[in-house]
Each structure stands twice: as structure tokens, then as C-alpha cells.
Chain A
Amino acid sequence: MLTRRIIPCLDVRDGRVVKGVRFQGLRDAGDPAELAARYEAEGADEITLLDVSATPEGRATAAGTVAQVRRVLGIPLCVGGGVREVADASRLLDAGADKIGLNTAAVRRPELLSECAELFGSQCIVVAIDAAGVPDRLFRWEVRIRSGAESTPIDAIAWASRAEAMGAGEVLLTSWDRDGTRSGYDLELTRAVASAVRIPVIASGGAATPEHLLAAIDAGADAVLAASIFHGGEWTVAGVKQFLLKRGVEVRT
């Protein structure tokens, strides 16, 4: 049986892992390759590396960081952030990424998903969706782009389905309301997307405890992504997996 995945996330800026509430008050959290290797040794199922560089110069260093991580990493590596066109995806794959996360560029031009899927295969293409709750619309969650800065009139659930039809092989679903709050994943959002698509769904945004991870899995997430819970040293990946295993969740040990 396919296990549920635990995915530590590295937000990387100018070659260093940073942490902070969505790019506010960033603090250094270490070297990407060192952290990735440590998480693999602890039993991480996959690593996601998000390039949060604010400048073109920072973006240019991302491929180098990916190559450094690849050299030491023997588990899958998903890379996102700043992928605008097929050539960007190609560059990151050549550097050693196994999957590419597409966000803003795919919302603006959904054909980018099918172009990438055709070239690299669906299993390589992750649609990253930043969703925020909206009280006064016909739908419950809207898609946010440009790292959450820009609102769109797009229904996040409908976008997940459309992205699947366009060739995305996985959804990285981040709750904009919960991200950085340490109050747990948005379970209703997770449940809604997980039942709308057939491709795997990774829950993201808000995790602070193993109970949060368990709740997202119970809500239908195939994988859970978390950053601060691991970077801070509160929990190891192995510790989280033991917790889940005891509660009947199948994980790789």
C-alpha cells in the first residue's frame, strides 16, 4: 500500500534556508544541502525546495543550490518558485530536480502545465496552489498569486481540477490563511481539493504539531509538507512518523 509522505520544506533565498512568516522577518535556518541530507537520514520521504529569492540575481543562484542538494540527496526533490516558462523548468530539472512546482505562471497561462507535462511527464509537474478563504464570493477559496500578494477571481477547487486536466500530476495545496500561523492545516480546504481531483494532494500551511499532520491525512491529504516544525528542532521526521504509525497511519519506516 502506498504510504503517506512527510515532506520537509526548505524555503531558500540566495543559497540559504530561511524561515519566517511568509517572507516577513526572515531568519537564517541553515545550509540547504546539509538540512536536506539530515532530513533524509531522519526518514523524510521527499524534499521540497522553494526558491523565495526576491531578485533575478537570487533566482540565478537557485539552480546551483539545487545541484548542491542533488549531490547529497537520495530521495525525490521538488523545486518551485519563480518558474515562468518551460526553459526555467528544464534548467532546474537539469540541475537535479525531480519535480517542478508551478504556481503564478500556470495561473496566468495554464497551457504551461500541458507544455511541461508533455515534455517531462505529468509525474514531474506539481501545480502549487495558494488558496485563501473569501467570504463574499460564490466559492469558498480564491487562488492567490505572486506569493500570495495578488488576489484572483479564480475558485481554488475549480483551478485544481483544471490543472489536473491540463496535465499536473500532483497538487501542492497551501492555505494562505494558515501559513505561518502554526494553527494547523485548513482541513476543509484539504478535504475539498482531495475529493475534487484524482491526483495526489500535498497539504501545506500551518503545521506546528504531529496532531496537525495526522488531521490533514485524515482529511484526505496524500502527503503533508511542513517547515518550521522540523527546522526548529521541536520534532524530527522520525519522531513524527512514529507518532503517525502509532495512530494507524501507514508510513515508510
Chain B
Amino acid sequence: MNALATGPEVVIVRTGSANIASVSAAMTRLGAAPRITDEPDLVRGAAIAVLPGVGSFGAAMTRLRARGLDEAVRDRVHLDRPLLAICLGMQLLCESSDESPGVDGLGIVPAHVGRFACDERVPQMGWNRIDPSDSCSLLEPGWMYFAHSFRVERVTGGWCGATTDHGGRFVSALERGTLLACQFHPELSAASGLALMRRWMARATGKAAVPC
């Protein structure tokens, strides 16, 4: 797919009509070889995978289930295989969402996704600061690009994460081992986003991050 790539293959899960060109371009910039697929076995077994996603929670879950991709993603997380979940991808890891009541998420993160309840602009569209907790090792403070109407307000147990303020604090990212979930778009967050993806990829491949 990318003759110039010397780095690892990164499988990008096709979640539907999500625009994944930006994710793919960012991976190429990191020296990886992106491969877009909706094959459950590839998603389950890939050394490195990205779960992107735009559109609605319910529609995305329906598509994942129809292809057996829900089990594939769950399996790879349970097997500690590296996964980067972006935007709706992070929300899909949760249990449920106000966006699609009655639809079960992947249930990997014990959290509910709620609609922004504030006087601020919704969707939150633009650059905001993330503040990681001290225990985070991948996430660092900085500006990231957001585009979303729903968000995780709190998470219980075993997760380190970052919060961001948009009419109140919400969970803007989570990390645990090689699982990184971002409500923002690291692939659209200029140098700070690229640096985060580089750190994650280094951990995912077991190599030290090469500074840019």
C-alpha cells in the first residue's frame, strides 16, 4: 500500500463511512504502512490496530456487529494487543451512549457517553487543552483538536486519563498499557498529535520512540 514505509503495518478498522484518509495519512507520516480492513481476523490478529470512527454510536455499533468486528476488537483488547481508538472509536469502547439509547457499546471501558450539558458551543469544534493525570505515561499536556457532541464524563477503576474543560471537565483520553483512547483527533492535532501517536506506536512495537 505504501512502498516507502519501512515501519510496521497498522490495521485501520473500517467502521463504515468514516473518513479514514486523515488517519491513514498520519500513519504514513509516522513511517507505518496503513492497511484499511473490515476483516475480523485481521483486526483480531494485527500487531497494531486503530479504531477510528465518525457518525453515530448506534450506526457504528450496528456495522461492527454485522461484520463480527465487535468481538474482534474486544478479543484484541483482552489479549493486550495494541489499539488506538479515536473520537467515536473511544465512545464505542464504552457501555452506552445518550446518542443511541438502548444500544450496547463494546463494554471495554466502564463508562457511559453523555451529551454535553452546558451553554458552550456544541459540537465542540476546535483546539482545546488536555490535562493528563500524573499516572499517565503516553499522554502529555498540550493542545488537541476536537470535533464531537458527546463525551465521557467519568470513568471508574484502573484507567489513567486526561481531562479537558468545555463547560465542565470531561474525559478527553484514556490509557492502559498499549490501549490508547482519544476523544480528540491525534491525526489532526499537528505536532502534538503526531508525537502522541509516535509514543503509542513505540510502545505498541516495543521500541523506544524516536524523537522527531
A residues whose Cβ falls under 8 Å from a Cβ of B: 1-5, 40, 45-46, 67, 70-71, 73-77, 90, 93-99, 118-124, 169-170, 198-200, 222-223, 252
Contact = CB atoms under 8 A, between A and B. Distances in A.
Given A74-B187, A222-B121, A121 B54 contact: yes
A120 B55 contact: yes
Given A96-B22, A98-B188, A123-B147, A169 B125 contact: yes
Nearest to A4: B126
Given A2-B120, A252-B143, A96 B125 contact: no
Nearest to A98: B22
Given A1-B128, A98-B188, A70 B22 contact: yes
A120 B122 contact: no
Contact of A121 (B22, B55, B120, B122): B55
Contacts of B190: 40, 74-75
Interface string B17-34: 111011001101100000
Given A119-B17, A120-B55, A222-B126, A198 B121 contact: yes
Given A75-B188, A77-B22, A98-B19, 12 more contacts: A1-B129, A1-B166, A70-B22, A70-B25, A76-B145, A90-B17, A96-B25, A98-B188, A121-B88, A123-B125, A199-B123, A222-B125
Interface residues of B, number: 40
Interface in B157-202: 165-166, 185, 187-191, 193-194
A76 B25 CA distance: 12
Interface of B: 17-19, 21-22, 25-26, 28-29, 54-56, 59, 88, 120-129, 143, 145-149, 165-166, 185, 187-191, 193-194
Determine chain B's interface SS by DSSP, over half rule: mixed
B25 A118 contact: no
Which of the listed residues A1, A70, A119, A121 has the most CB atoms from chain B within 10 Å of its own CB?
A121
Contacts of A94: 19, 21
A120 B20 CA distance: 11
5 contacts: A45-B127, A74-B26, A75-B190, A97-B19, A199-B125
A100 B114 CA distance: 26
A93 B19 contact: yes
A120 B121 contact: no
B147 to A, nearest CB: 4
A3 B189 contact: no
A3 B147 contact: no
B125 A200 contact: yes
Contacts of B17: 90, 93, 119-120
Contacts of A222: 121, 125-126
Contact of B126 (A45, A74, A124): A45
A74 B194 contact: yes
Given A71-B25, A200-B125, A76 B54 contact: no
Nearest to A222: B121
A70 B21 contact: yes
Contacts of B88: 121
Nearest to A95: B21
B129 A169 contact: no
B61 to A, nearest CB: 14
A162 to B, nearest CB: 17
